Amino acid sequence: MKQLRENSCSNCSFGHPSSATTSVTTESMDGVEQTSSTTAGSPPISDPFNVMGLVGGTVISLMIVVGVVGNLLVFSAIVRCPQLRRSYNAFIASLSITDLVFNVSVMPFYVDTFVHRGWRFSDPVCRWHTFFGTVVIVSSSVSGAPTPARCSTERS
């Protein structure tokens, strides 16, 4: 059972939103109640220096750099080397480009979310991020799906 109680300061004369304190009381199955309170706009205080957010943001940033460099190397090798221009390498090049687009357009939002402990962008950007990330991942999967026509031409 959860109860939310909100207290807001009405004496704010500077025109900015007043800080609201939210208290959440939870009751477990064995009847023990726990109460925690947070101030709106502030992160939880269990990790005051945001070590996990900074480590997560650093790891994802490294993944972005390695992904961009690696996918550019794979794609440029396939394009520049005539011996690599085969049908199965076209699939690898397609995956490389899809992964490159994902690394450049979707993953930086993950870094920001980790570092700042939450989504800082507007709702339309959130919807775009979710939609575009899903489209890129699905297109990556569908581009390599074997079809009967593709399988019969690759065997000969």
**Tens of pLDDT along 6-56?**
333 333 333 334 444 555 566 656 666 666 555 555 555 677 888 999 999
- Residue numbers of the domain that contains 130: 51-145
What mean pLDDT value characterizes the chain? Answer: 77
- Does 150 reside within a domain? no
Domains contained in the chain, number: 2
- Does 100 reside within a domain? yes
pLDDT of 106 higher than 60: yes
Contact 136, 84 (CB under 8 A): no
**What is each CA distance from 138 to 92, 95, 99, 142, in whole angstroms?**
15, 11, 11, 6
Residue 139: what pLDDT?
A: 85
Q: Assess whether 58 and 130 both reside in one domain.
A: yes
- Does 99 reside within a domain? yes
Q: Assess whether 99 and 120 both reside in one domain.
A: yes
Residue 41: what pLDDT?
A: 56
Residue 142: what pLDDT?
A: 77
Q: Assess whether 110 and 57 both reside in one domain.
A: yes
**Arithmetic mean of pLDDT, 102-130:** 94
Residue 136: what pLDDT?
A: 92
Global pTM exceeds 0.85: no
Q: Assess whether 35 and 100 both reside in one domain.
A: no
Give me the residues paired with residue 26 across strands.
2, 34
Q: Return the exposure string of 101-124: e unless at least 16 CB atoms fall within 10 Å of the residue's CB, then b.
A: bbbeebbebbbebbbeeeeeeeee
pLDDT band at 81 (very low <50, low <70, confident <90, very high): very high
What is the Cα–Cα distance from 71 to 85, expressed in whole angstroms? Answer: 16
- Does 125 reside within a domain? yes
What is the Cα–Cα distance from 95 to 110, expressed in whole angstroms? Answer: 21
Residue with tokens 């979310």: 113
